[in-house]
C-alpha cells in the first residue's frame, strides 16, 4: 500500500507549525511515506473552481487506495482544508487527520468555526490528537472517529553536547513575547532569557537573546538553567486553557538541549514531566521563583540527567516513529 503525508511550505522560517510538519514528514519518509507538498498562498484570491483545480494539482501524484496522513491545519484556512480533505478522502483507502493545533480552540475569534472543522475532520478513519483533554472537548462538540494521542514532539538533531549544563537560577523561554505577556511584565531579579524577536524596556532581569536558528538555540539553552513552558490568557487567545490540551514544541526543544523543565500545573504534558522526573510543576510564578532559590544542585543534576536521557530519544525521532507505527496498527495495516 502506498503511504502519503501532507507537508506545508511557504511559511516563515520562524514558523513552529511548519517546522513541526517538516519534522514529522522527514521521519515518515524514512519508513516509506511519500510527501504531498501543500503550498501557502492567499486562498481568498481563488474562486471555488480555481481552488479545486489548485488542490487537484497538489494531489496529482497521489494514487488511489493508499494511506494518507493529513497534517492539520494547513494554515490556508478551513475553506481550503475542507476541499483538501474531501479530495484526499476520495483517493485514500485510509485517511488519518493528524491535528497539530485545533484552530477554534486556539483563537477566540475562530471558535465559531468548530463545527466546520469537525465536519471536515470527521471524514477521517482515525484522528491523532495531542491529549485526552482535547479529545473530551472535541467529542463534546461532535468529533466521531477513533483517536490516538501524540505523546510529545520530537526535535531531531545530530548535535551532541560535551559540556554539562550549569546549575544556576536562570529561566530560558523560547516563545513570542506578544503571546506570552509575562515576559514584558517580568519584575524579578531572577534572570529570564527570552529567545524571540522584538525589544522592550524590561522592568526586571530580562535578557532578549533574539530568534536563533536551531543549532544556535540548542547551544544557548544547553548552557544551563531551566526550560520554561508557561502560558497565560491574553485578549485574543485562551493560552493557559489551550496549554492544557496541546503539545508544546518548546517543551521538546528544551529536552533536546538536555535541561530540566519548569511547567504550568495542568498543562497537557504534566504527567509526562512527572512520570520521567524531567523537572518541576508549579501553580504560579511566585512558586517558580521560590523553587529556584530552594533547589539543590543534587536535585538539579538528577532532573537534568533524566531530561537528557529523554532528550536523546527526542533527538532521534523516537516518539514520531512510534506514533506512525501505532497509526498503522490501529488501521490494521
Q: Domain limits of the chain?
A: 3-154+317-330, 166-316
Are domains 3-154+317-330 and 166-316 of this chain identical in fold?
yes
Distance of CA 62 to the CA centre of its chain: 27
Q: What is the pLDDT of residue 237?
A: 61
pLDDT tens, 221-263? 999 999 999 987 666 667 778 888 999 999 999 999 999 999 9
Q: What is the pLDDT of residue 198?
A: 79
Provide the CATH topology of domain 166-316: Rossmann fold (3.40.50)
Which residue ranges of the chain lie beneath pLDDT 50?
none
Sign, CA dihedral 155-193-178-268, equals: positive
Residue 98 in 3-state DSSP? strand
The answer to whether 93 and 63 are in contact (CB under 8 A) is: no
Provide the CATH topology of domain 3-154+317-330: Rossmann fold (3.40.50)
Cα separation, 310 vs 133, whole angstroms? 24
Q: What is the pLDDT of residue 92?
A: 97
Q: What is the pLDDT of residue 328?
A: 95
Residue 280 in 3-state DSSP? strand
pTM of the predicted structure, to 2 decimals: 0.94
Q: What is the pLDDT of residue 297?
A: 97
The answer to whether 276 and 259 are in contact (CB under 8 A) is: no
Q: What is the pLDDT of residue 236?
A: 60
**Is the preceding omega at residue 21 within 30 degrees of 0, hence cis?**
no
Amino acid at each position: 500500500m502506498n503511504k502519503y503525508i501532507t507537508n506545508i511550505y511557504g511559511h516563515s522560517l520562524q514558523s513552529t507549525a511548519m517546522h513541526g510538519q517538516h519534522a514529522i514528514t522527514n521521519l515518515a519518509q524514512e519508513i516509506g511515506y511519500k510527501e504531498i507538498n501543500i503550498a501557502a498562498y492567499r486562498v481568498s484570491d481563488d474562486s471555488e473552481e480555481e481552488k479545486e483545480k489548485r488542490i487537484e494539482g497538489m494531489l496529482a501524484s497521489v494514487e488511489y487506495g493508499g494511506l494518507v496522513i493529513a497534517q492539520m491545519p494547513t494554515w490556508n484556512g478551513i475553506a481550503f482544508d475542507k476541499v483538501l480533505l474531501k479530495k484526499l478522502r476520495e483517493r485514500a483507502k485510509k485517511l488519518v487527520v493528524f491535528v497539530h493545533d485545533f484552530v477554534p480552540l486556539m483563537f477566540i475569534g475562530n471558535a465559531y468555526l468548530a463545527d466546520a472543522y469537525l465536519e471536515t475532520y470527521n471524514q477521517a478513519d482515525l484522528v491523532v490528537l495531542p491529549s485526552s483533554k482535547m479529545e473530551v472537548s472535541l467529542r463534546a462538540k461532535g468529533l466521531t472517529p477513533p483517536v490516538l494521542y501524540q505523546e510529545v514532539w520530537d526535535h531531531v538533531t545530530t548535535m551532541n553536547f560535551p559540556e554539562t549544563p550549569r546549575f544556576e537560577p536562570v529561566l530560558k523561554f523560547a516563545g513570542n513575547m506578544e503571546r506570552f505577556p509575562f515576559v514584558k511584565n517580568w519584575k524579578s531579579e531572577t534572570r529570564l532569557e527570552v529567545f524571540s524577536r522584538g525589544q522592550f524596556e524590561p522592568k526586571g532581569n530580562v535578557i532578549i537573546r533574539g530568534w536563533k536558528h536551531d543549532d544556535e538555540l540548542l547551544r544557548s539553552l544547553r548552557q544551563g538553567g531551566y526550560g520554561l513552558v508557561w502560558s497565560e490568557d491574553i485578549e485574543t487567545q485562551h493560552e493557559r486553557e489551550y496549554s492544557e490540551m496541546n503539545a508544546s514544541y518548546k517543551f521538546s526543544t528544551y529536552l533536546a538541549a538536555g535541561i530540566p523543565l519548569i511547567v504550568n500545573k495542568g498543562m497537557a504534558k504534566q504527567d509526562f514531566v512527572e512520570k520521567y522526573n524531567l523537572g518541576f510543576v508549579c501553580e504560579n510564578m511566585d512558586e517558580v521563583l521560590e523553587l529556584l532559590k530552594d533547589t539543590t544542585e543534587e536535585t538539579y543534576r538528577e532532573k537534568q540527567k533524566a531530561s537528557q536521557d529523554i532528550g536523546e530519544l527526542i533527538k532521534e525521532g523516537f516518539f514520531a516513529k512510534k506514533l506512525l507505527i501505532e497509526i498503522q496498527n490501529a488501521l490494521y495495516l
